Amino acid sequence: MYYAVDSYKMRSIDNYSIDKLKIPSLVLMERAAYEVALVVKANVKKSDSILVVCGSGNNGGDGIAAARILFLQGYAVAILFIGLEESCSEQTRLQLEIARNIGIPFENSNKLMEYNIIIDGIFGIGLSRPVEGEQAEIIENINNNHHRVFSIDVPSGICSDDGSIKNVAIKAECTITFGWNKQGLLLYPGAEYAGKVIVADIGFPDQALQQSKPNTFYYGRQDLEYLPNRKSNGHKGSFGKVLVIGGCKGMSGAAYLSAKAAYKTGAGLVKVLTDADNRIILQSLLPEALFAAYDDINISKELDWASVIVIGPGLGQSDVANDILWFTLKNSKVPLIIDGDAINLIAKKLDTISDNVEDRITWLSNNIGNEVILTPHLKELSRLISKPIDEISSQIIDIANQCSYNNNLIYTIKDARTIVARCNERYINVSGNNGMATGGSGDVLTGIIGGLVAQGMELYLATCLGVYIHGLAGDKAAARVGTFSLTASDIITALVEVLSSGIKS
């Protein structure tokens, strides 16, 4: 697990390290500069010409110090300073003085084209205003002339909190960020502008992070160790029972994908509760699954059978579907994963209650239950909370915070960077690719999460890990068939390889 911080938490870490732990700011700056120089040296040649473009903040000081380190090691380096010296921090002013004393050339913006490598130190994590004037013009020139760019901490012009562009932003080949990753480098469009992100240790103690109370994280391959244990003497009852409620007449595909994904993720038993007309096709496609039809069973009995319930894939919007949903919500005694049509039916109910976002979120927290995972994509979330899609997309962290504040519902907000939010916890998913934007992909995700919950995983952990595994499977599938041709079935096929690399016994 890796933490990601916003600008407020990073400043808190910085201030605590300097003021409380007495680590001099200049020491941190020198360490940052050394890490930048190290990355640049590993990627450029002595014959390259390097221009360090710096502002007057400490980000600029990091760049000036990196220029000095490279210059003293024989690299062709010059500095373009575009800040105001009277606005420089004490440390940056000192770095400027040292650079001049040792003879590093200082250039003006007219010489930009003479350099093929740019080190971007114009703005740091504190940028909150739109980039304008000379700074905007220089950033546009750097982008338009296709320099190789190495950005310090964040690409200049990118908001480190949410990844938004402050009018214009540097497009970097590589970003060297310090201490911990930044939320804005994980979220789009910041993730695209940042290029390859290297998180460099510059000496912040872990206690500085912990005092800031980090609550945003993402996973790496090592986190597959969280997969549930597979007992060597286990039987099908040991690994849980997933009930998939979905599939209206003639619409069995979503329920099938969810059920198959649950099995492939390790669930012991999977039952599909669906329209009777889907019996033949489901039993042909997935003979391992148990089958029950809406019109010939006691739904209470089926709810009692399950360890976890997935409701919504292909459920439809009929009166029967609506009745089944609300009966399930009222009578379920096990964790619920609410997806697709079930979310849309809940949104219709909310339309009769209020158009106010806060009222709708409050109603959900008071009426849906405690052990519930909601898995909306942006359009479904827009219907659910009555907020425009573009507003959700541009403020996805804030929206996740608003939805999950002070309640136990788990919101899995599916997008290019899926966010999983509960109370004070935020997971940002970094696996996956654009080929996964295909029909049925979300149904596979609900099945994966259901399979993990069935095996006894805590709900939030199962949701975060399920989202990560889903993305990893999508990446493996894309490597095999390409992003253009990727289907939900390809994701399920690739699950086998992903899970086998992390299986515990």
The DSSP result for 31-67, as a single string, is HHHHHHHHHHHHH--TTSEEEEEE-SSHHHHHHHHHH
Q: What is the pLDDT of residue 238?
A: 77
Secondary structure E strands in 156-307? 174-178, 181-182, 196-200, 216-218, 241-245, 269-274, 290-293
The DSSP result for 349-363, as a single string, is HHHTT-S-HHHHHHH
Q: Give percent of the chain with pLDDT exceeding 70.
A: 99
Closest alpha carbon to 96 in 130, 72, 60, 134: 60
Task: Inform me whether the pLDDT recorded for 202 exceeds 50.
Answer: yes
- Compute the C-alpha angle 136/138/141, nearest 5°: 110
Q: pLDDT tens for residues 411-460?
A: 999 999 999 999 989 999 999 999 999 999 999 999 999 999 999 999 99
Distance CA 472, CA 47 (A): 39
Task: Quote the pTM value.
Answer: 0.95
Distance CA 71, CA 41 (A): 11
Tokens of 162: 């949410």
Q: What is the pLDDT of residue 450?
A: 98
- Show the DSSP H helices in 174-269 as ranges: 183-186, 190-194, 206-211, 253-264
Q: Give percent of the chain with pLDDT exceeding 90.
A: 90
Q: pLDDT tens for residues 74-83?
A: 999 999 999 8
Stretch(es) of the chain classified as CATH 3.40.1190.20: 223-500
Residue 231's CB: how many other CB atoms inside 10 A?
11
Task: Inform me whether the pLDDT recorded for 401 exceeds 60.
Answer: yes
Task: Inform me whether the pLDDT recorded for 505 exceeds 60.
Answer: no
Distance CA 340, CA 395 (A): 22
Amino acid at 106: F
Q: pLDDT tens for residues 460-492?
A: 999 999 999 999 999 999 999 999 999 999 999
CATH of domain 2-214: 3.40.50.10260
Q: pLDDT tens for residues 368-400?
A: 988 999 999 999 999 999 999 999 999 999 999
Amino acid at 354: S
Please give the class, per CATH, of domain 223-500: alpha beta
Distance CA 263, CA 266 (A): 5
Stretch(es) of the chain classified as CATH 3.40.50.10260: 2-214
